[in-house]
Amino acid sequence: MRIAVLRETAPHEHRVSLVPQTVARLIAAKHQVAVEQGAGQGASFPDSDYGAAGATVVKDRAALLAESDVALAVQRPSIDDLGSMRSGAAVIALVQPATAGEFVAAAAARGVIVLAMELVPRTTKAQTMDVLSSQATVAGYQAVLLAASHCARLLPMLTTAAGTIPPGKAFIIGAGVAGLQAIATARRLGAVVSAFDVRAVVKEQVQSLGATFVEAVEVSGSAEAAGGYARELGRDQQARVLAAIAGHLPTMDLVVTTAQIPGKPAPRLITADMVATMKPGSVILDAAVETGGNCELSRAGETVVHAGVTILGPVNLPSQIAQHASVMFSRNLQSLLQYLAKDGVLTILPDDPIAGPMSLTGQVVPRPQHPAPSTQDPA
């Protein structure tokens, strides 16, 4: 299988879809890998590392795409890139399905298969391919570091000649993968940590990390949807959630919000009035700002100060730790490629439990009736 690794062109994107270590493993498995020149530069992987791993470094993006069976990227490539691809080839990336209608239509017209990494099913079999979880781990870690760097107070308790400084208080809203990593990171920094989630099932996980679980009465027992995600709440339940959060905010030094609902805008959990009750010098980091935000005052890519409280709206948090985020993304893709490659051929069957839900174009590549001959076979 001929694999192309594309250089990212989206703003704020420094990751790369495959790192040299993964490239070497795929080449050892008899695949051919070609990397666009400069693809790994933003993640501190120079072209020379890819060459040493056995990949071909290609300057011409169109030629690279024309020769590929599958093109890999972190963010979806442009519609113009599809024009360089042959019918039957595939694009695998974070596609952002909700806003990708024009891209998917163009791909379908060209005969190019589109697999969205956001749609990897949450099953045990697909766990090693779950990009959302791996990147959320990085995001949760970076969110706390970034918020702490803007906080007016220290997080750990310090006993010095100048006296004792009490530990800071951190509040994590949303205890999914990103939230749990944020809890663990805030604890490592020495903060007293509490966390909120509408799902009762995560209470034990929060407490196992040494944090206090904040509950909204009569909500958590019915707030979990299929796949383990939080579901959208009714008006009365939402009011109870807001009341629980509002009562906890005034004493917090650092707040990280990570609550999201798949396919819907992020729930609004912190209002401007709530922010006004917080201590001057405290910080809110809205990690859900790209899907609408959990805080009423957060703005994507901006820092807002309201009533002495700093509100951060960073975009693409995983890309801020590009090297390790790329390593994890790359391992997810490696697992998917190993699963899809049957007898050295990209194989996507309509009823496949993993590739089927990921396919946005509805097209498939049938498994060949007879394996393709090896290049080492005698003529």
Which are the catalytic amino acids?
Answer: 122, 127, 130, 133, 229
- For the chain, first and last CA: distance in Å? 20
| Rg of the chain taking only CA atoms, in angstroms | 23
Pairing state between β 163-165 and 254-257: unpaired
Kindly give, in sequence order, each residue whose CB lies less than 8 Å from that of residue 306, ignoring residues fewer than 6 positions away.
Answer: 272, 275, 276, 297
Give phi and psi for 100, each to the nearest 5.
Answer: -105, 20
What SS3 class is residue 93? strand
SS3 sequence, 243-297? HHHHHHHHHCCEEEECCCCCCCCCCCCECHHHHHCCCCCCEEEECCHHHCCCECC
Distance CA 281, CA 274 (A): 15
Distance CA 68, CA 2 (A): 5
DSSP secondary structure letter of residue 218:
T
Classify residue 290 as left (phi > 0), alpha (psi -120 to 50) or beta: alpha
Token pair listed for 98: 């909700």
What SS3 class is residue 29? coil
Cα 187 off chain centre by: 22
Q: Does residue 34 contact residue 54 with C-beta atoms inside 8 Å?
A: no
